[in-house]
Chains A and B, each alone.
Chain A
Amino acid sequence: MRDRWTWARAALALSLGLSWLVNTRMAQAAGRPVPLVLSALFVPLLPAFVLARRRPWAGAALLALAWGLQLAVNAADPAHIDHSTVMPLLVLAAWTVARLFRREEEEAWDYCCALIGAMYFTAAVTKLRESGLAWADGRLLRVLVASEAVNTAGPLRGLRELFAASPWAARVGSVATLGIELGAVALVFRPTRRWGAAGLLAMHAMILALMGIDWQFFSLVVAAAAL
């Protein structure tokens, strides 16, 4: 049986591989340049990272390739950042650097969770910087859910229409989103880590149900933090 850090690395590697594949497809569809040869090398190498428990150099080499890819894509199109790739990439980098400095796995994982928390906290800070407390008035959530309901058939359509029709539900959803993202600081502390991760997973479940956005890349990273 594998230990929990192997599972955590597997979740991170899966998140990175999935997000890379999806973002590559989207970039191609939009006519943005993608280093295809490097991409083809990158994804099959990910399992090596999961198994590289005692070989941090193998993980480091893979990460160097991954960062090279990401920087090449960003250099070609600086206006576009694939956030879903940045998150697992950065967390895996923290893990690898900590292991290269001969830190215990538990300690390396502490740093990873601190980074995951920082990224969600940053997302909340950005919302407040760009929109202020008006972000929590629920109007954004209402139009996003209503526009998703237009494209929905079946029982979820009723749920989405009901939510979009209720200013109070949207306000509660918006405040909860901000609260959960700011509460991601809980991931820094071991006793509260699972609570913070549970809140973030609940938020992603709400986003999936109401807006149809399956950010499985982020959810996998958060699930890894909860392990």
Chain B
Amino acid sequence: MRLPSPTPLSARLALFLIYVAGSAFLGERLPFSRFSMFSQTQDRASVLNVLADGRPVDLRDLEGFRGGFLAADRSFLNPWLAQEFESYVRGSAAAQDGPVAVEARVCTCEAPPAGPVRTDCRTLWKGTARRRA
């Protein structure tokens, strides 16, 4: 037999409603938050795409970069991501070419109301590196 709940349902519901209402009215004021991740709809997204010998890799699997930045439109790329990429490549630069051909691209995906998603990739950085042991 299940014992009756020691917590009045009204107390739990009140806490639930206080948090929902508080978040709606106060916004990002701790302890309230609207949890707004991915809340704004969009039909375009950009990502950094790093290719090693033509295959996508995690940037942190590479080191010893030698190459150069090309003029690519970075306006859609997350500024934090672009900044981290630049500082990582500059912080792990090498004086000589590495064995792996590396290309970093800004890829923008766009979803029209009808039809397939269009993906457009532009080269941001090109050069060589070596795989992290």
A81–B116 Cα gap in the complex (Å)? Answer: 34
Contacts of A151 in B (CB 8 A): 47, 49-50, 56
Contact count band on B: 35 or more
In the complex, what residues of B have CB within 8 A of residue A167's CB? Answer: 114
By secondary structure, the A interface counts as helix
Per the bound structure, the CA–CA distance linking A130 and B35 in Å amounts to 12
Q: How far is the CA of A135 from the CA of B38 in the complex (A)?
A: 9
| Residue contact B110 to A140, C-beta cutoff 8 Å | no
Stretch at the interface among A1-9, A16-24, A107-115: A107-115
Chain A residue total in the interface (Cβ 8 A)? 60
Whether B12 contacts A70 by the Cβ 8 Å rule is no
CB < 8 Å neighbour of B109 from A94, A103, A147: A147
The smallest C-beta distance from B113 to any residue of chain A, in angstroms, reads 7
CB neighbours (8 Å) of A137 from chain B are 41
Of A38-46, A50-58, A119-127, A219-227, which stretch is located at the interface?
Answer: A119-127
Given contacts A123-B35, A144-B38, contact A139 B16 (CB under 8 A): no
- Is the Cβ of B20 less than 8 Å from the Cβ of A118? yes
- Chain A residue, CB-CB nearest to B44: A143
Closest to B58 in A: A151
Asked if B99 lies at the interface with its beta carbon under 8 angstroms from chain A, I say no
Bound CA–CA A81/B31 (angstroms): 10
A/B interface sample: 8 pairs, CB < 8 A: A30-B80, A30-B83, A70-B30, A126-B39, A129-B39, A139-B111, A164-B109, A190-B5
